Structure 1
């Protein structure tokens, strides 16, 4: 059974949502950064990738105008948002708060 988006982001674990598109060059640059980040942080973060072309209503609801756009949720609340490629160290600081 697939969880709804609101169920996914309503988690005590920080949830980093990556809104991306297959045709987007910067999105391709971001993919290995997110992979490294997940390997480093493990269960301390959930990373969810959302293809904006396949999930247009969701992208519209969260006002995603450009890709990649990343939004960090803690307990269902948006605590950080940025468009464009973000380096791993910066993402790590945002997620861990240090």
Structure 2
């Protein structure tokens, strides 16, 4: 966990914002970023799946969440037009992207996990 030292974690999930986003996605392991909002029902469906992923693959995958209402610049930078949008990063580069709520197996398959 040394790479994310000083970054807020809840249930193995990183809360990412303008202050730490670039640091979060630079990790050597895959980083799955959930772009969400509290009013978004499909986001609420995906959130427990990503929480499970963070728990099951702790130490192998980092799961981060970005509230688009609080961090519109990050959402804009990555072209997030619909939520939930889940992007997998590897060493700071986008590797795959999923838009919308999907069952866990399909979500992991499309993210390449």
Give your verdict on TM over 0.5.
yes
**Larger RCO: Structure 1 or Structure 2 (Cα < 8 Å, ≥ 6 residues apart)?**
1
Q: Is the aligned partner of 1:13 residue 2:29?
A: yes
Counterpart-to-counterpart distance in 2, 1:87 and 1:37: 13
In the other structure, the counterpart of 1:52 is 68
Counterpart-to-counterpart distance in 2, 1:63 and 1:4: 19
CA RMSD of aligned residues (A): 1.6
Counterpart-to-counterpart distance in 2, 1:39 and 1:8: 17
Q: Report the count of equivalent residues.
A: 96
TM-score, length-normalised on structure 2?
0.77
TM-score, length-normalised on structure 1?
0.87
Give 5+ residue unaligned stretches, structure 1.
none
Question: Does the Cα contact within 8 Å between 2:36 and 2:84 map onto a contact in 1?
Answer: yes
Counterpart-to-counterpart distance in 1, 2:108 and 2:28: 17
Give 5+ residue unaligned stretches, structure 2.
1-5, 8-18
In the other structure, the counterpart of 1:4 is 20
Question: Does the Cα contact within 8 Å between 2:98 and 2:107 map onto a contact in 1?
Answer: no
Show CA shifts across 1:14-40 (max 9, x none): 000000000000000011111111221
| One of 105, 109, 113 as aligned partner of 1:89 | 105
Looking at secondary structure, tell me which structure has more helix per residue: 1
Counterpart-to-counterpart distance in 1, 2:87 and 2:101: 12
